[in-house]
């Protein structure tokens, strides 16, 4: 059953590939765009059709098995299908589901786009629905994959609309404040900017604590909406070399 579904998905993707869309989106991927180039409306219509048609035969377990195979090809749309199929099974998520998804960063999730879609549509649900703890999620800050580490702040961005508090978020991301990856830094900065809108003093104090050590991209993104002059207080202090 899984192989027949995989074949059907790939035939759909190949028959709806558009070179112009590939050309349009290639500029957003430094590592190269690995996708079919499918129109979003066509993708979404087929997504909804398959989820409806397969409702009585596919389960969380079978969608995870299908997802494992879709991840291996590395194609953007195949990975996106794996994510949206899984989203349809949210009511059945468990901690084991979360652990299984973590494996996808080893061979499938390998750019900012698929990472962020996974965070928004799937990973955030595990925290919102109290399936895993923030402490459990924090383990990903030690992951080898920069995309898995980026998933930590990006998932928390989605939780801001669910009243995420700095007291919960900051201890989770603190382990990433010295991360070298610009993609991780951008995720952290975006999270801090979102929290700053609700809790300016707490976030500014946190930035002042880290500004001389953390990556500059974090500060750049976090202070983006601040007044230009006010933003200067978060500049890194230049270290003066000691005289011999």
**Rounded CA Rg of the chain:** 20
pLDDT score of 238: 75
CATH of domain 109-244: 1.25.10.90
Cβ(173)–Cβ(152) under 8 Å? yes
Q: What is the DSSP letter of 33?
A: -
Q: Mean pLDDT over residues 200-213, rounded?
A: 97
Confidence of residue 82 (pLDDT cuts 50, 70, 90): very high
- Tokens representing residue 14 in the block: 């190949």
User: Where do the structural domains in the chain lie, given as residue ranges?
Assistant: 1-92, 109-244
Cα separation, 205 vs 191, whole angstroms? 15
Confidence of residue 98 (pLDDT cuts 50, 70, 90): very high
Q: Which residue has the tokens 């404040």?
A: 177
CA 192 to chain centroid, in Å, comes to: 15
pLDDT digits over 23-58, tens only? 998 988 877 889 999 999 999 999 999 999 999 999
């Amino acid at each position: 059953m899984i192989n027949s579904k995989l074949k059907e998905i790939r035939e759909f993707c190949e028959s709806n590939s558009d070179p112009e869309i590939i050309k349009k989106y290639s500029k957003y991927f430094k590592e190269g765009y690995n996708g079919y180039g499918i129109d979003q409306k066509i993708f979404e219509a087929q997504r909804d059709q398959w989820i409806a048609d397969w409702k009585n035969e596919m389960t969380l377990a079978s969608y995870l098995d299908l997802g494992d195979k879709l991840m291996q090809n590395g194609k953007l749309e195949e990975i996106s299908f794996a994510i949206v199929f899984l989203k349809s099974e949210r009511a059945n998520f468990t901690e084991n589901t979360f652990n299984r998804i973590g494996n996808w960063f080893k061979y499938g999730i390998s750019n900012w786009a698929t990472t962020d879609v996974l965070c928004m549509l799937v990973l955030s649900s595990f925290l919102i629905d109290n399936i895993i703890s923030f402490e459990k999620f924090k383990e990903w800050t030690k992951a080898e994959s920069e995309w898995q580490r980026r998933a930590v702040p990006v998932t928390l961005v989605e939780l801001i609309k669910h009243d995420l508090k700095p007291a919960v978020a900051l201890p989770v991301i603190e382990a990433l404040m010295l991360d070298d990856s610009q993609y991780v830094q951008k995720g952290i900065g975006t999270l801090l900017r979102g929290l700053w809108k609700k809790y300016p003093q707490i976030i500014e104090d946190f930035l002042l604590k880290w500004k001389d050590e953390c990556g500059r991209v974090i500060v750049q993104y976090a202070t983006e909406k601040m007044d230009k002059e006010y933003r200067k207080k978060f500049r890194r202090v230049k270290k003066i070399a000691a005289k011999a």
